[in-house]
Amino acid sequence: MSHPKAATEFLKDQANSQWHDETLWMIRDKRDASSKSIPEWEELRNLASEIKDNVLSNLDKYLEQFEAQALKNGIKIHWAKDAKEHNEIVLSILQEKDCEAIVKSKSILTEECHLNPYLEKHGIEVVDTDLGERIVQFLHQPPSHIVMPAIHLKKRDISALFHEKLQTEKGNEDPTYLTNAARLHLREKFLGSKVAITGVNFGVAETGEFVVCTNEGNADMGVHLADAHIACMGIEKIIPRRKDLGVFLRLLARSATGQPITNYNSHFRSPAKGKEIHLVLVDNGRTRQLAREKFKNSLKCIRCGACMNTCPIYRRSGGFSYGSTVPGPIGSILSPGLDMKKYSTLPFASTLCGSCSDVCPVKINIHEQLYEWRQEITKHHGAVGKGLSMKLASGIFKSPLAYQFSGSLMRKVIKSLPKSVIYNPLNIWGKSRDLPKAPKESFQDWYKRNRHE
């Protein structure tokens, strides 16, 4: 489904979509307050961006260094060129361990690879342990936001869901009560799993260690109780030095939710005695993106979600409207690299206001890349949507006479247009919008009157 069609679905529930918009804006506000408490914030963004530039220009060397160190530390390394190979590797480890049920903490990469349905098809029970992810998993939905997977749901939905799945009291919507029910349910899963899967936030080439950040502690509950830990990592998650973590951990949580750091930041270097750590390094289109000069910077992303929270389109259309694993502005520049035809409407789901680039902690030029993707897509698939009005506008802007005439016409029409024309259900544009006050005269007239030579 195209983005505009899917967004229309989301907007049908006006109260819910307004709540979504306001809540994400509140998180953007928290990010602002938090970043402004750090005098060197902009310097940190520059550093993070430069470190990632260096990574992208030496990715092969850092990957080899990372692998050598990790092997020395007793970590087993696997390489997967695509989603299929990634899933096969994970399955083969599970089969080797005779493991039929696993716990998994949040990993956008495993979503991207569609690991859950693959493992389930092979008879393995997968339990997502992040609360938001468990909620959407119960509903057979993907996450709608990379940091807040269930942000599209209201507590009444979750209350009804938990009543059905976890036998909570009917109608009890108290978040503390519902969270506690999930805690008890997941505790059993943690205690019973022989293998735990996590994502990776950062892999350090210098030491071969990798870092996983959570607030709930679910990644650690899983891996420290299991015999084997499988960590799935996109090859772009490499950073050169341990001390670079200082820069990225200062930026990540502040950008994501406004908190100064996530409550748990675990550094895995070697397995505990008698246990195993497997690390799967995944390409799945990343080297192809690296080869695209205009778009390779998208690989600097640290998955904080700040660009989603600030985006006027994301906030008003919801994560599902994008139909891609990573939604929002960053998803709209990553996804066309994976499948340009399937995701052809995404780069158009933007006002190009540039707010995404302004908040990005690694300074990806997101809005410029959105514009560049539009050029690519138009070249390959022809003009998309909004055709007639654009042609009309183009005609008006080309002719000075038409421009002057249409201006004076609009100033009169806006004043006398009855409200029922704009705010009527047939005119989608009128939804949540107000017309500006029409100025009495054009700028040209004003300039003539006020010009003093």
Partner 1 sequence: MSSREEILNSIRGIQKENKALPDIPNFQQEGDLVELFKSAIEANKGEILSKKEFENWIASTNFQRIISCSEPFHTYATQELPDDAHQLDHLELAILEVQFGVAENGAMWLDDSQLPHRALPFITEHLVLILSKENLVSNMHQAYDRIGRDHSGFGLFIAGPSKTADIEQSLVIGAHGAKSLRVVLF
Which of 4, 217, 354, 430 touches partner 1 (CB under 8 A)?
217
Nearer to partner 1, 6 or 178 (CB): 178
Binding to partner 1 (CB under 8 A) within 78-97 occurs at 79-81, 85
Nearer to partner 1, 1 or 191 (CB): 191
Q: What does DSSP assign to residue 324?
A: S
Is residue 53 within the footprint of partner 1 (CB under 8 A)? yes
Nearer to partner 1, 51 or 353 (CB): 51
Pairing of strands 101-104, 195-198: parallel
Is residue 13 within the footprint of partner 1 (CB under 8 A)? no
Return the beta strands (E) in 205-352 as ranges.
Answer: 210-214, 228-234, 238-239, 264-268, 276-282
Binding to partner 1 (CB under 8 A) within 123-152 occurs at 129-132, 135, 148-151
CB of 262 to partner 1, least distance (A): 7
Is residue 270 within the footprint of partner 1 (CB under 8 A)? yes
Nearer to partner 1, 265 or 406 (CB): 265
Residues 453 and 5: their CA atoms lie apart, in Å, by 54
Cβ contact 27:258 at 8 Å: yes
x/- letters, 183..212, toward partner 1 (CB under 8 A): x--xx--xx-----------------x---
Cβ contact 182:138 at 8 Å: no
Contacting range for partner 1; rule: CB under 8 A; set: 174-182, 309-317, 337-345, 357-365: 174-182
Binding to partner 1 (CB under 8 A) within 361-390 occurs at none
For partner 1 (CB under 8 A), the number of binding residues is 86
Angle ∠(253,114,147) on CA atoms, nearest 5: 15
Return the beta strands (E) in 256-370 as ranges.
Answer: 264-268, 276-282
How many CB atoms sit inside 10 A of residue 117's CB? 11
Residues 108 and 236: their CA atoms lie apart, in Å, by 13
Q: Is 180 helix (H, G, I), strand (E, B) or coil?
A: helix
Nearer to partner 1, 94 or 277 (CB): 277
Calculate the alpha carbon distances from 232 to 61, 188, 274 in Å: 20, 24, 21
Cβ contact 198:212 at 8 Å: yes
Contacting range for partner 1; rule: CB under 8 A; set: 40-48, 393-401, 419-427, 439-447: 40-48
CB of 268 to partner 1, least distance (A): 6
